Every structure is written in structure tokens, then in C-alpha cells.
Amino acid sequence: MNYDFKEGREVALKLDKADKMRPFRERFYLNEGEIYMDGNSLGLCSKDAEKALLRVLEEWKKYGIGCWSEPDIQLFSYHDYLGKLLAPLIGADANEVTVHANTTINIHTSIGTFYKPTEERYKILVDNLNFPTDRYAIDGQIKLKGLDPEECVKVVKSRDGKMIYEEDVVEAMTDDVCIVLLPSVLYRSGQLVDMGYITKEAHKRGIIVGWDLCHSIGAVSHDFKKIDPDFAVWCNYKYLNGGPGTNAGLFINKKHFEKESGLPGWHGNKNETQFQLKHKLEKSNYAGGWQSGTQSVLSMSALEGSLKMYAEAGVDNLREKSLKITAYLMYLIDTKLEKYGFGIGNPREDNKRGGHVALEHDDAIRINEALKSEKVIPDFRYPNVIRLAPVPLYVSYEDVYELVERIIDIMENKKYEKFENKIGVTA
Ligand SMILES: *Cc1c(COP(=O)(O)O)cnc(C)c1O
């Protein structure tokens, strides 16, 4: 979309005034003077998340073991409740979504569920730009079957090291491929992959499709009724602000409810018979059947508060602002930062980009460090990308304007030169 932005701080202030998402900012803990651009790595804490966490703590204090089963609380099925709150974000049915462990474990359980290699069909198709944990989990599952990842993983290589070309993925869908697992949005370039097209082409060839939504959930709205993938995984601590290490999301398409879980455990048993403690698992026939053991409820509770905020804001409204505020950031980069050697590494088209801007510079490591010393929180991704995520719930247009002013100051005064050209710990 063409927004026709103009220069000047007063333009940013005007955009903020007209921003429908603006009231949500007051509900977050922001540090005075700091510009937080790293919500795609760890979202900020909101008062809503804090309140939900403290409420669950009170329930534990008051009820002890009763907190699992008290009719108004029922922490025993808390994952179902959170699944119901998450489902609208991806356009799934409530019983197709559950909250469990972390993304990596959910890849293990999904691949464990769907990977049934035969002589003819034994390959899992991946790309070479995905986050590495996805690959570790896939390789691990292949080894558990006594097979060799060298032979059983087929990698689609990016042509340019930045983007996945959908037609290359489709071309790689040969008869020996049984599963495709790809990221919806690439963590570095921010490319939004055409999930509908890839899923459709895979299904035509009898291939199971899984998506890793870590960088799209909460930033991009998905219509799973239309895309119809077989499974999906994601973490809830990035754009969804569920808190460090909060439990992750898992989508299992209802057509697979009868399948066995890849990592079975007693919490995947049907509620009615779980406490009969039989040695034969009677798996629940909905996404909750993919639960393993007792959940870390306190870690999940902050997510409850945060997800209710999402319901209030509406994910389509958030996407609308995210597209606009990232477009504003790109406009400022184009008009003010090009002369310092900066470029934009993410796709420009609205339907091809996620929630962050990939700012590229040959000196990105040192500039990233200088930004941190100027109270801007971005993150660096090898080899030359500074990721900037103006998260629509709590980042203002003025923040974006001020961010670019601080970058100009760093470049004009060569402030980055006092930092070493080496990578620190940037989770
Ligand atoms: C952040 C991220 C993960 C994180 O996995 P966890 O097991 O939840 O730590 C996985 N995949 C992708 C693509 C990510 O961006």
C-alpha cells in the first residue's frame, strides 16, 4: 500500500494521534527514553500479563491441589482455555490448538506423529534459512528411526541467502518427500512465505505440511481454514508477549485427531479416564491429545493476560498498523539513511513481509552495539542485518522517528567506531 508519508517529527505525532492501537501502549512496561525494537525476539511485559500471572499465583495460594480442579479455575485444562484464545489468531477451531512446552518440543512431537518413512517416501523437505532448532529436531527424529539425516532431509537452498522462492520449494516436492516444514516468516529477512500456495501444491502430491509460525503469530493474521496445513508450531513469547519461556503453541488439523502423539504422556489421556492411571493411553481426540506431562502453569498464565489484549485489539487491526508503521520506517530509511550505506533487506510488498524491517549495513554489528548504548533495543543477525520490529501494540510512530534520528547521530558522529566488530549474545 502507498501511504504518502512526509518528513518531520510532527508527521509522526500526527500519525500517533490517529492510531487506534495507541491506548494499548499505556498497558505495557516501557523504560523511560528507551526505544524497544526487539519485540520479535522477546515481547514486553504488560500489566494485563502481570495481573493474570498474579491471579493464578493467588489461586495456587488459596486452593493448593484444588487449583487443578476447582470448577471456576480448572488449571488442569488451562491449555484448552489458552488454545481457545489462540485459535482466532490463525483462524483455526479452538480444539485444533493447544499450548505445550516449547517450539522445539512441539516440532519433535509433530514430526514424531507424522513421520512414517517407507522405502519410497522418507524425505523431509526444509529450507536452509530456517531457525536452526527446527533442523535439530528434524534430524533428531530421523535418527530415532535409525535413519540418516544426510539421506532423509532434503534442503531447498535460497537463491540469494535472503528469501525462499516458493517455486523452488514446489520443484523440490519429489515423490520421495513425505513432509515439508517451513517458516511462515523468515527470522532474518522478514519474508512472509506464500503458505497457501505451498500447502496446496504439497497436498496435491500427498505431502504433509507443517509451518513454524514463530515470526508471524501475532504479527500477521493467518486463515488456516483456507490454508489447511496439517500441523503448525510457534512460540508465544515474541509478538504475543507471553513472557520469557512461556509455553508454546501447537496446531493439529482436526483430520489428524485420531493419530498417535509423537511424544505421548499422561496429560494427553482423555480427561474422564486419566486418573484411572491405566497403562494403556486413551488419547484425547483433539489437539489436547498431544499434551505430554504436567504443564508449567505459572509460565502460561502471563500469556492469558496478553492473549485477551489481542482479542480486544483484533489481529487484523494489528496487522494494519504493523504494515503502516513498518512502511513508515522503510520510508525514513529510504529518505534519510541511504546515504550512510544502509539498505532494506526485507521484501517491500505487503503480502510478502512480516512484522519487522531488516536494516542492512556492512558495519551492522558495531552500529547495533552503538544503538544499544543510545537506548535503542534492536538485534543483530549475522552477517549484516539489524532487525527492527515496531510492534503495533506498544511502539509509536514517534519512536520510529526518534530511532532514525539516533541512527543518524551515530553515523554522523561515527559513534559506532568505539565498538568491536564482534558478536555478543543476542538471543
Ligand atoms: C524463536 C524461534 C524458535 C524458538 O524455539 P523454542 O523451542 O521455543 O525456543 C523456533 N523456530 C523459529 C523459527 C523461531 O524463530
CB of 100 within 6 A of ligand 1: the answer is no
CB of 187 within 6 A of ligand 1: the answer is yes
pLDDT digits (tens, 9 = 90+) for 308-335: 999 999 999 999 999 999 999 999 999 9
**Span 370-397, average pLDDT:** 96
Q: Grid coordinates standing for 8?
A: 518531520
Q: Grid coordinates standing for 26?
A: 499505556
Task: Assess contact for 313 and 393: CB atoms under 8 A.
Answer: yes
Instruction: Render the burial of 179-214: b for 16+ CB within 10 Å, e for the rest.
Output: bbbbbbbbbbbbbbbbbeebbebbeeeebbbbbbbb
**Span 157-169, average pLDDT:** 97
Pocket test for ligand 1, best of 214, 247, 426 (most atoms within 8 A of CB): 214
**Span 361-384, average pLDDT:** 95
pLDDT at 425 over 70: no
Indicate the residue type of 245: G
Smallest CA-to-CA distance from 192 within 209, 172, 178, 212 is with: 212
Indicate the residue type of 229: P
Backbone angles phi, psi at 217, to 5 degrees: -60, 130
Pocket test for ligand 1, best of 38, 131, 186 (most atoms within 8 A of CB): 131
CB of 248 within 6 A of ligand 1: the answer is yes
pLDDT at 391 over 50: yes
CB of 133 within 6 A of ligand 1: the answer is yes
Alpha-carbon distance of 23 to 312, in angstroms, equals 11
Residue corresponding to grid cell 544503538: 371
State residue 424's pLDDT score.
65
* 270 Cα–ligand 1 center, Å: 29
- Percent pLDDT > 90 in the chain is 95
CB of 76 within 6 A of ligand 1: the answer is no
* 338 Cα–ligand 1 center, Å: 32
**Residue 363 neighbours by CB distance under 10 Å:** 17
Residue identifier of the C-alpha nearest atom 2 of ligand 1: 214
**Residue 230 neighbours by CB distance under 10 Å:** 23
State residue 305's pLDDT score.
97
CB of 104 within 6 A of ligand 1: the answer is yes
* 357 Cα–ligand 1 center, Å: 19
State residue 422's pLDDT score.
79
* 213 Cα–ligand 1 center, Å: 9
CB of 212 within 6 A of ligand 1: the answer is yes
State residue 73's pLDDT score.
87
**Span 175-186, average pLDDT:** 98
- Percent pLDDT > 70 in the chain is 99
Length of the chain equals 427
CA geometry: angle 411, 366, 333, nearest 5 deg: 45
Residue identifier of the C-alpha nearest atom 8 of ligand 1: 103
HEC secondary structure over the chain? CCCCCCCCHHHHHHHHHCCCCHHHHCCECCCCCCEECECCCCCCCEHHHHHHHHHHHHHHHHHHHHHHCCCCCCHHHHHHHHHHHHHHHHCCCHHHEEECCCHHHHHHHHHHHHCCCCCCCCEEEEECCCCHHHHHHHHHHHHHCCCCHHHHEEEECCCCCCCCCHHHHHHCCCCCEEEEEEECECCCCCEECCHHHHHHHHHHCCCEEEEECCCCECCECCCHHHHCCCEEEECCCCCCCCCCCCCCEEEECHHHCCCCCCCCCHHHECHHHHCCCCCCCCECCCHHHHCCCCCCHHHHHHHHHHHHHHHHHCHHHHHHHHHHHHHHHHHHHHHHHHHHCCEECCCCCHHHECCCEEEECCCHHHHHHHHHHCCEECEEECCCEEEEECCCCCCCHHHHHHHHHHHHHHHHCCHHHHCCCCCCCCC
Smallest CA-to-CA distance from 212 within 169, 180, 165, 246 is with: 180
CB of 215 within 6 A of ligand 1: the answer is yes
Alpha-carbon distance of 296 to 267, in angstroms, equals 12
What is the pLDDT of the chain when averaged over all its residues? Answer: 96
pLDDT digits (tens, 9 = 90+) for 228-272: 999 999 999 999 999 999 999 999 999 999 999 999 999 999 988
Residue identifier of the C-alpha nearest atom 1 of ligand 1: 214
CB of 219 within 6 A of ligand 1: the answer is no
State residue 427's pLDDT score.
45
pLDDT digits (tens, 9 = 90+) for 75-91: 999 999 999 999 999 99
**Span 21-39, average pLDDT:** 97
